[in-house]
Structures are given as C-alpha cells and as structure tokens.
A and B are shown apart, each in its own frame.
Chain A
C-alpha cells in the first residue's frame, strides 16, 4: 500500500519536515522576525551570524522563512479545497445530468477558463486588498475549470457502466448515485488533481506575492522571494531558501498524490 511506495513515503516524510518547520519550530523561535539580527548581507553558515544569513535589512532569513510557511500553506490549502469542491460539484452535475444542464455549466466553465488568470487575480487582489481571503478566492475562481472538466469526463465515462445502472435499478436516488457510487470511483483522478492543484496554488500564491500582492506582515515564501529579488547578485541566499521551500513543498505534494492514488485503488492493493 502507501508504505510500499518509496517515493510516496519520501514525499510524506518531506511534508512532515515542512510542517514541523512551519508550525512547530516557530513556537520555539518566537523572537520578532523583523528584528535586526546581524550585519546586512551576512552569508549563511558564517561564524556568529544567523544560520541562513541575513537579508538586505539585516533580518534573519531562517526566521522569516520559518514563519512564512504557515501563510503559504494555509493559502494553498484553502484554495485547493475551494477549487476541488467547486470543480468536482460542477463537473459531477454536468457529466451526470447532461443535456441543457451540461451545456450551461460548460459555458460557464469556459468563461472562467478563458480569463487571463494572473491578470484577473491581480485585479481582484488590487481591488479588494491583499488579505488571505481575497488571495484564496482569486486563486480559486481562476483555477477550478480544469477540475470541473476532468470530473465531468469521468462522470460521462462512468454513468453508463453497468454498476451505475445496477444502482439505479435498486432504487438509488440521483444524489446517492453521484455522491456514493460514481464520486468514489473518480477519486483517483480527483486526489491526484487535488494535490497537483495544491502545488499549483502554492506557485500561484508565490507568483502573486512575488509581484507584491501579498500580506506584508506575514511574509509568505513567495513574497519574501520578491523582496530579495533585487539584491540577488550580492545575496543569493535570500531568494534561494524561500524558493527551495516552495520547490520542496510542491514536490512532496505530487509524490504524496501518486502514493494515495496507488493506495486507494483496490486493484493495486497487495501488489
């Protein structure tokens, strides 16, 4: 099962480390992350300096990266939840009922799919302010169409199979068939999509924050990369460490997604 998949176990281990660094470590290092920690542009691993060096204002890079994790993960987590819920619901209804419901919902989906994503998110965040809620909504609104399409195609494929006919012939209601019969059979696709979506949401949040549309008080990883960008030639570590965290988080999510897919598919069990 899950434990037999080495890559997935590695991904899960990585995620535990990331969660530990973002949620447990800050409890022990509760010093003001904005405080002066040493001469500006101190390189990492210098004697007497902070572990990962200091940034252009002399702040502790390790401390800021540690505290930025929860912001990044929460934005990405809520956004992925929103995207998968909305996408799966709309895709399921469109695929199951077909006809006019399908055509209407797919037109709506296409409308959101052709919106220039980053531009739309920039406008939303610029108009309503850079709070966690608006960033989650902005990412959610532009990212659900692929999930809806995927769910719809799964429902189209499954709804005419005999086990669905069998569910109808024993008197199951439409809601029961959608939620308890077909949806569990689309889970492998949905879970992989959900983890990839979460990775994409992290990247999207980083992108928005890099452009300056983030909460300056919580300094997410992307936002911090953006702040350090202009000093890159003299201070490579200010960009590299938060960027590495983004990379490792996205990597661990895709490995976990693959592992879950194998684990919940009864046909692959025990292989």
Chain B
C-alpha cells in the first residue's frame, strides 16, 4: 500500500475555559486519507468535526499529536514554514456569504493565492489563469470583475472552489461546504466536486452532518462523537453494518423518503453529554476493534 496523502495521529485540542475546566474538542483522533479518496467525517453539532478540519489545515494549532501531509510533519510549523505546504492543502468554508472578502472582486479573491505563492506574473498571465479557473468551476470569465454580493450562494461557493483549486492542491478540506446551500444547488456543487476529483485526482476531507451527502460522495466514513472517532470504515461497511451504538442512532435519525421502509427510530436518551471536563479530568480514550477489514469501531 502506498503512503497515505494525509496521516493524522493522536491529534488533540483542548480549549481552556476561565473557570479552570476544559473543553476537549478533539481527542486522540487517528485518520488517514489516500490519494483521490474522499473521507467524510460525520457527527452532531459540537462533536469537534470543524475543529478537526481547522487543526489539519492549521487555522488552529493542535495541543498534541501529529499531522503528516505527503509524509511531512506540518504540526508546529510557523506561518512562513507552512507556506509551501499550503499549496497542497486547501479549504472550502461553510458560509459562502462570509468566506469571500466583501470589498474585493471575486477575480481578485481567486488570484490572491497565485500572487502570494508567486505562481503567476501580474497582468495577462494572471488574468488568463483566473479566467481558466472560473470556467473550470462553471462560471464565466466575465464574472471576474464582480463583487461577492452580486452572486447567489451556489455561485459564491463555486468561486470559493476556484480559489481553493488555484494552487492545484492534492487535498481539499470542505467544512460543511454545502450545508448552507439549498438542495438543488447542493447537488450541482457536489457533482462539480466529484467531477474535479475524477479529473484532478483530488482527495477530500468532507466535514458534514448530512448523511445523504455522505452517501453520494464518500469512499470512507468516520463517525465522530464527543471529540473522538467512534467508528470508521468504508461507506458500505458503516452504512450497512453500523456497529457502534451512536452510529446506529445517527443513521436511524436520517429520514427515509419511502414510508414502507420506515422503521422504529433509535433515539438518544438522557442528558446531552458535554465535552467539557473539570480541571484534571478528561475523557477516557476509546479503544478500537477491527470488526471487518478496514472497519474499526470503538469498544463500548
């Protein structure tokens, strides 16, 4: 087996709170992503999946563990040391209304990574490259001069995808990137992302809470609960043979369009657990068992 594109080992992030207690947002997370593979991370709000995405692309600094991109450790690198690695890994954010600079034309936003990394000279060369990126994501080159507020949500998310592609990354981290779009636009953007994967060999780390999106896009699925991965495996393994009790409940909560197939829901009961712990205490580290090849489940 070849070296994975991304190897995350024992990653940890703790947010201190003024009263001395701590929120264990991400605890001992191990994941790997192969080239041209999509790993979806699913879980409820507050389970730490967005924190995980930000730790990997270094918008937040992890407290422990390692992140290897293309077999090179990137945790602990400074902003300038990190710059060459940035090109290999790009992020698409959740809210296309907030993730573009409102005072810059969308063409400028897409050209900025090329300028920062010195990949194109200003002038016609830069313009041409940005125009090609616009066409690649299904926008017209004539859109370049316009401002974000003149676009719809789906078009803005296409601009964000163009910006992410500008550096020709190998890994794209999508943090709830289609959740803010309505369903028909969502489908278009997902199709675009899958097409780009086929053509450019991209890998995706797809953070979402939408199981329908996971079913459509993901090769493998990781289920996150209270900062830990409780189940990870191929999509078919997790969807057809959910083993951890939380995964079962999560899958049973997803609506099925066919009334004949409706089954009794498994509901989560009791108080909603919190990732917040008093000083000196912390969550127990879960141990994983391999229930079938490539399908790991936390022991309960």
Residues of A within 8 A of B (CB): 161-163, 165-174, 176, 181, 184-185, 187, 264, 266-267
Given known A-B contacts A163-B102, A171-B86, A266 and B59 have beta carbons under 8 A apart = no
Q: Does B65 contact A (CB under 8 A)?
A: no
Whole-angstrom CA separation of A161 from B59 in the bound complex: 12
Whole-angstrom CA separation of A194 from B117 in the bound complex: 34
- B245: shortest Cβ distance to chain A, in Å? 35
The digit string for B76-114, where 1 denotes a CB below 8 A from any CB of A, is 000110110011001101110011111110000000110
Q: Which of A163, A168, A174, A267: most chain B Cβ within 10 A? A: A163
Other A-B pairs, 4, CB within 8 Å; known A170-B90, A266-B149: A163-B102, A169-B86, A181-B101, A266-B103
Which B112-158 residues sit within 8 Å CB-CB of chain A? 112-113, 116-117, 147, 149
Q: Which of A172, A173, A184, A187: most chain B Cβ within 10 A? A: A172
- B86: shortest Cβ distance to chain A, in Å? 4
Residues of the A chain whose Cβ atoms lie less than 8 Å from the Cβ of B86? 169-171
Q: Is the CB of B102 within 8 A of A266?
A: yes
Residues of the B chain whose Cβ atoms lie less than 8 Å from the Cβ of A161? 98
Q: Is the CB of A162 within 8 A of B93?
A: yes
Q: Is the CB of B100 within 8 A of A163?
A: yes
Residues of the B chain whose Cβ atoms lie less than 8 Å from the Cβ of A169? 57, 59, 86, 90-91
Given known A-B contacts A165-B93, A166-B91, A174 and B79 have beta carbons under 8 A apart = yes
Whole-angstrom CA separation of A139 from B79 in the bound complex: 39
- B218: shortest Cβ distance to chain A, in Å? 22
Give the residue name and chain of the A residue nearest to B160 (CB): A166
Give the residue name and chain of the B residue nearest to A174 (CB): B79
Residues of the B chain whose Cβ atoms lie less than 8 Å from the Cβ of A165? 54, 59, 91, 93, 99
Out of B82, B102, B149, name the residue touching A171 (CB < 8 Å).
Answer: B82
Q: Is the CB of A173 within 8 A of B102?
A: no
Given known A-B contacts A161-B98, A163-B99, A163-B100, A171 and B116 have beta carbons under 8 A apart = yes
- B138: shortest Cβ distance to chain A, in Å? 20
Whole-angstrom CA separation of A25 from B83 in the bound complex: 57
Q: Is the CB of B149 within 8 A of A166?
A: no
Out of A172, A185, A264, A267, name the residue touching B116 (CB < 8 Å).
Answer: A172
Whole-angstrom CA separation of A163 from B117 in the bound complex: 18
Whole-angstrom CA separation of A169 from B116 in the bound complex: 11
Whole-angstrom CA separation of A181 from B57 in the bound complex: 20
Which B153-179 residues sit within 8 Å CB-CB of chain A? 160, 163, 166-167
Whole-angstrom CA separation of A264 from B102 in the bound complex: 11
Q: Is the CB of B98 within 8 A of A163?
A: yes
Residues of the B chain whose Cβ atoms lie less than 8 Å from the Cβ of A171? 79, 82-83, 86-87, 113, 116-117
Residues of the A chain whose Cβ atoms lie less than 8 Å from the Cβ of B95? 162
Q: Which of B54, B98, B101, B163: most chain A Cβ within 10 A? A: B101
**Nearest 8 pairs of A and B residues by beta carbon:** A171-B86, A162-B99, A170-B113, A162-B98, A171-B83, A169-B91, A162-B93, A266-B147
Given known A-B contacts A181-B101, A267-B149, A162 and B59 have beta carbons under 8 A apart = no
Residues of the B chain whose Cβ atoms lie less than 8 Å from the Cβ of A264? 103
Whole-angstrom CA separation of A264 from B104 in the bound complex: 11
Q: Is the CB of B103 within 8 A of A185?
A: yes
Whole-angstrom CA separation of A171 from B166 in the bound complex: 12
Q: Is the CB of A173 within 8 A of B59?
A: no
- A179: shortest Cβ distance to chain B, in Å? 13
Residues of the B chain whose Cβ atoms lie less than 8 Å from the Cβ of A172? 112, 116
Whole-angstrom CA separation of A171 from B84 in the bound complex: 8
Residues of the B chain whose Cβ atoms lie less than 8 Å from the Cβ of A184? 101, 103-104
Whole-angstrom CA separation of A192 from B73 in the bound complex: 47
